[in-house]
Structure 1
Amino acid sequence: MSTATNIAKSIGAALLAALALTAPAHAQSVDFTNAAFVQVSVNPTSVPIGAAEFCHRRSNECAPYRNPIAAEALTDGRWNELLQVNAQVNASIIPASDKEIYGVEEFWTYPTGGYGDCEDFALEKRRQLIDLGWAPSTLMIAVVRQANGEGHAVLMVRTDRGDLVLDNQAGEIRLWNETPYRYLKRQSQLSFAQWVDISDDRTTIVTASAGR
């Protein structure tokens, strides 16, 4: 195990301790150091400009979470909700860049007129899952690097089975470590407006589908 992983697990424990105060009983027994869960820094990192501007426009959506929980229990019902929301949003939005839609390089918002880029897909999936009763603290947008070097964003869902990724570029829902990306940072579980670095020291990026 690398030094980076040991450090990430150590500092990540502090965040988990804070979340455990309001975590349901099932989440307290989950081993969050398992490879199915990303390891993050407890200290905030830089916020993507699009996310910062989104919070400036929608400050009511970016306040610290009142009752953050560590993970959602992935019941059959919850799993079906993930499948339905992921499929519905992916099918209903036509991918287009912010430059094409708004004339700017970066603009985070909910899909407009049936078009959106990767962040818009993730925001809409997050909104729909919250409407279904999912805890906001378990729904985090993550910034990743694709194999071709380009940036991308996905919705990362923390469940008691692992961190699942809802991606507009893939129909299947996969565990984070079974996706073809290098993970850079994601939103904190304490606030929509706060971001933390991800320790992704995998030597091999795999693409196998996640099982339940």
Structure 2
Amino acid sequence: MVTGGITSQPIGHYEFCKANPAECAIRSRDPGPLVVSDKIWAAIARVNQAVNQAVKPMSDFDIYGKAELWEYPVHGVGDCEDYVLEKRRMLADKGIALANLLITVLRKPDGEGHAVLTVRTDRGDFILDNLNDEMKPWYKTGYRFLKRQASTHTGRWVSLREEQNMLVGAVN
């Protein structure tokens, strides 16, 4: 994915950061994309599938009575960003740098907003999505990518340059 400059963070992430300031204040040097072995790839796939199976999809309104609330799915229910937070936490616990586990927001083909986890690897950027157990390269998802977390600061977001990404996706 081709990133642009710093942009606004989603309101849900902003509120999450107010409630969890330590999680959004992590600054790190970007180590570069994760070098993926078969063992690491299998671990990522297991986490993706395990969270997708363990969490029952439910809207924030149905859970909390609010239109948008980013939270870990502690009660076994959640919406897209809740899956993302849990996958990110579990993969970080396995030693994957947060610089390579980036919360990403996008538009689905029907125009609805959605959140996924982008895993930056030496094989390209792959998407972990609660709507699909298959880990796909970002350009094979059919989504329109808007922005994602910065790789060097967990509370900052960068734009995704759609025109460049469309060209890259067309080549790959």
TM-score range, shorter chain: over 0.9
Tell me the SS of whatever aligns to 2:18: helix
**Residue identity matched to 2:12:** G
Give unmatched runs, 5+ long, in structure 2: none
Would you say 1:123 and 2:85 are equivalent positions? yes
**Residue identity matched to 1:173:** M
- Give the counterpart of 1:79 among 26, 31, 41: 41
Would you say 1:165 and 2:127 are equivalent positions? yes
**Residue identity matched to 1:178:** K
- Give the counterpart of 2:55 among 86, 93, 102: 93
Once residues 41 and 85 of structure 2 are traced to their aligned partners in structure 1, the CA distance between those partners, rounded to angstroms, is 19
Give unmatched runs, 5+ long, in structure 1: 1-37
Once residues 28 and 155 of structure 2 are traced to their aligned partners in structure 1, the CA distance between those partners, rounded to angstroms, is 14
Measured against aligned partners, the alpha-carbon deviations of 1:156-186 in whole angstroms (never above 9, x if no partner) come to: 0000110000000011000000101000000
Q: Partner of 2:3 in structure 1?
A: 40
Query: Structure 1 residue 70: deviation in Å?
Result: 1.6
**Residue identity matched to 2:156:** Q
Tell me the SS of whatever aligns to 2:153: coil
Measured against aligned partners, the alpha-carbon deviations of 1:117-155 in whole angstroms (never above 9, x if no partner) come to: 000000000000000000011100110101111000000
Q: Which has the larger displacement, 140-149 or 57-66?
A: 57-66
Once residues 46 and 95 of structure 2 are traced to their aligned partners in structure 1, the CA distance between those partners, rounded to angstroms, is 14
TM-score for the superposition, normalised by structure 1: 0.76
Would you say 1:56 and 2:43 are equivalent positions? no
Q: Do the aligned residues in 1 keep the contact of 2:28 with 2:153 (CA within 8 Å)?
A: no
TM-score for the superposition, normalised by structure 2: 0.93
Pick 1 or 2: higher relative contact order, CA cutoff 8 A, min separation 6.
Answer: 2
Would you say 1:108 and 2:75 are equivalent positions? no
**Residue identity matched to 1:134:** I
Q: Partner of 1:34 in structure 2?
A: none
Query: How many residue pairs are counted as aligned between the two chains?
Result: 168
Q: Do the aligned residues in 2 keep the contact of 1:65 with 1:136 (CA within 8 Å)?
A: no
List, as ranges, runs of 4+ consecutive aligned residues in structure 1 with deviation greater than 6 Å.
none
Tell me the SS of whatever aligns to 1:122: helix
Q: Do the aligned residues in 2 keep the contact of 1:65 with 1:137 (CA within 8 Å)?
A: no
Tell me the SS of whatever aligns to 2:146: strand
Once residues 133 and 112 of structure 1 are traced to their aligned partners in structure 2, the CA distance between those partners, rounded to angstroms, is 22
Would you say 1:145 and 2:110 are equivalent positions? no
Q: Do the aligned residues in 1 keep the contact of 2:148 with 2:157 (CA within 8 Å)?
A: yes
Once residues 117 and 188 of structure 1 are traced to their aligned partners in structure 2, the CA distance between those partners, rounded to angstroms, is 22
**Residue identity matched to 2:136:** R
Once residues 143 and 92 of structure 1 are traced to their aligned partners in structure 2, the CA distance between those partners, rounded to angstroms, is 22
The structure-2 alpha-carbon separation of the partners of 1:58 and 1:185, relative to structure 1 and needing over 3 Å to count, comes to: same
